[in-house]
Amino acid sequence: MTPLELLALICVFAVVRVAISLRPIPVDAGSGPSARTVIREYLDAFIVAGLVALFLITFVVRTFFIPSASMVPTLQIHDVLLVNEFEYRFAKPHHSDIVVFPPPIPSPNDFIKRLIAVPGDKLRIHNGAVYINDQPLTEPYIEQKPNYELEVKDYGIFVDGQRMDPELGNVPPKAQWTAPDRLPPNCYFMMGDNRNNSEDSHIWGFAQDTGTYASGPLKGQKASFTGHAFLVFWPLDRIRILR
């Protein structure tokens, strides 16, 4: 967990702590602080916690609601997450991050997927296993193995032997690649944990953290990542840190 994510959790717990520590206000001036003093102390605590929470929600952390089963079993429909919007402004995404981002296809909402491959990686999916740089991934988080073959090669994405059409997905032209079989700069391959029920990079190509989309329905439009999902905080029985 990053320091910013830890700070967000501390603020949440601070608000809860203030709420559960409320006690009856003394009415006998000789038995403790005056009612006005006690009220001011609690009011100050709530104001500070509220201002910190407002800052975090505005600039650092946002909530994200899970509308589909594409990330089952890691994320369930109706889960509510906290997403760190600050992290990727100063650091690149990492393998296995759960990322919220606008996809390179028309959509009213951001998508949420697991980051599988980063710029410069070799990628192949064969017989249900994902290979990064010729090494198979250990993926205890997936619902089922992918039932398709995929390979990044010859400056393109091939799914079941067919090259992805640049008119339908974000696949940069040859001039933007550094090698024919490695992901181009600023391009990421995203997959849902529910591999065979996920509209992800095997359908619409690469996600991008910066720049503009090189091809596909949103060609020329600005690309970005919204943030890193780090905590499920609702429903209560599913509260946990995401890894």
Q: Among residues 68, 70, 107, 222, which one is catalytic?
A: 70
Q: Among residues 31, 107, 113, 122, which one is catalytic?
A: 113
> In degrees rounded to 5, what are phi and psi of residue 47?
-65, -45
State pLDDT tens for residues 53-105. 544 554 468 899 999 999 999 999 999 999 999 899 889 999 999 999 999 99
Tell whether omega for the bond before 73 is within 30 degrees of 0, i.e. cis.
Answer: yes
Does 107 participate in catalysis according to the annotation? Answer: no
Cα dist. 167→13, 109, 180, 218, 225 in Å? 48, 21, 19, 9, 22
State pLDDT tens for residues 145-160. 999 999 999 999 999 9
- Residue identified by tokens 């690649």 is 177
pTM of the model: 0.78
Does 31 participate in catalysis according to the annotation? Answer: no
DSSP letter assigned to residue 56 = I
pLDDT at residue 28 above 60?
Answer: no
- Between 4 and 225, the higher pLDDT residue: 225
Instruction: Report CA dihedral (84, 72, 143, 183) to the nearest 10 degrees.
Output: -40
State pLDDT tens for residues 113-143. 999 999 999 999 999 999 999 999 999 999 9
